[in-house]
Copies of this chain bind each other. A is one copy, B any other.
Amino acid sequence: MTHRIALIPGDGIGLEVTPAGVRCLEALAQRPGLNFDFTEFPYSCEYYARHGTMMPEDGIEQLRGHDAILLGAVGYPGVPDHVSLWGLLLPIRREFQQYVNLRPVRLLRGLTSALRDRGPEDINYLVVRENNEGEYSEIGGRLYDGLPEAMAVQATVITRKGSERILDYAFRTAQSRPRRRLAYATKSNGIKHSMPFWDEQVAAMAPQYPDIAVEQYHVDILAANLVTHPDWFDVVVGTNLFGDILSDLGPATAGGIGVAPSANINPDPAIPSMFEPVHGSAPDIAGQNIANPIAMIWTVVMMLEDLGEQSAADDLMGALEAVTGEGKVLTRDLGGNAGTTEFTDRVIAELTG
């Protein structure tokens, strides 16, 4: 079975961690029956500097024929976010209707939590983020721009269809986990229209999943509880913005942003999903071989799972956690002094040795 993988290393440390991920995949491809066909796409701020767009006009079409997209990171100082992100990352998520953004938060063996007295048994939940609509809608504009009366209006759009598909995914994910708990983030006590509608969608779906314990949290309290009671959480579902915030906050308690993986999923196998570390391009540390490749390697694990390669995924995750658990070879952000390649070498040695 050959999996066609589109690689978009992007910018900054994306150019260092993507090869780390690819090397793990190549090591796994030594096994009989597992093959990858990689095609690299140079879409990036670099590309923008040369062509004036982040990707060619048919960029999405070029990506479409692949089984998965593996993205490093995009963004570069001087290129405004609305160019780098709205010209690449967000269109991929939206045009392929990757409506699930899945972000595991788990303290890997050997890593130290920023929370007092918390170990791997306390921090193990999954943030399921709606990834296509909500607070990231493009609807809105300005009135009286430049005048003292100026204002901006931004629409949040939550649809029943969009809510149902992400909530359904979240409920089913909760069913696959031993604790079968689903916490949902809302803010219906303060935000009058979108959030009560969201709550109603949860309430309407819950009876179909009587085996799941559903708990409502206003997002402010939820954020607080991820710090004070991380052990309460199993699956956490939120709208685009709330999922974004909670899935950066979670990793901050579990080894930092350098270890956090993510998957942008369209469950339809005919449409490629995109896998990317949560971290950005980190221009301040780029090019020095010091970036932490854990987020990318874990992201590759998520990609393997999505491609149906569960045993390869398990083996890679096992190798990764064996290395962190040993605690000898770690990058600087985790208090070690290994480089990106050295850490990756160690994982591959563990995997193949």
Contact = CB atoms under 8 A, between A and B. Distances in A.
Interface of A: 81-82, 85-86, 90, 112-118, 135-142, 144, 147-161, 187-198, 219-221, 223-225, 227-228, 240-241, 244-245, 247-249, 251-253, 256-257
Contacts of A138: 192
A224 B139 CA distance: 28
B140 A193 contact: yes
A154 B151 contact: no
A277 to B, nearest CB: 14
A240 B136 CA distance: 17
B194 A223 contact: no
Contact of A142 (B85, B113, B193): B193
B141 A190 contact: no
Contacts of A241: 187, 190-191
A90 B188 CA distance: 13
Given A153-B156, A157-B151, A159-B151, A194 B224 contact: no
A7 B249 CA distance: 37
A251 B257 CA distance: 22
B153 A157 contact: yes
Nearest to A192: B138
A82 B193 contact: no
A190 B188 CA distance: 22
B81 A189 contact: yes
Most chain B CB within a 10 A radius of its CB, from A137, A190, A221, A256: A190
Given A140-B156, A149-B160, A224-B251, 6 more contacts: A114-B228, A136-B192, A152-B157, A153-B194, A155-B155, A220-B248
Contacts of A149: 159-161
Given A219-B245, A225-B252, A191 B135 contact: yes
A333 to B, nearest CB: 10
Given A113-B116, A227-B252, A245 B244 contact: no
A194 B85 contact: no
A115 B252 CA distance: 11
Contacts of A257: 221, 224
Contact of A228 (B139, B195, B220, B252): B252
16 contacts: A86-B192, A115-B227, A116-B118, A136-B191, A140-B156, A142-B193, A148-B160, A150-B197, A152-B193, A153-B194, A154-B191, A154-B192, A190-B241, A223-B223, A223-B245, A225-B252
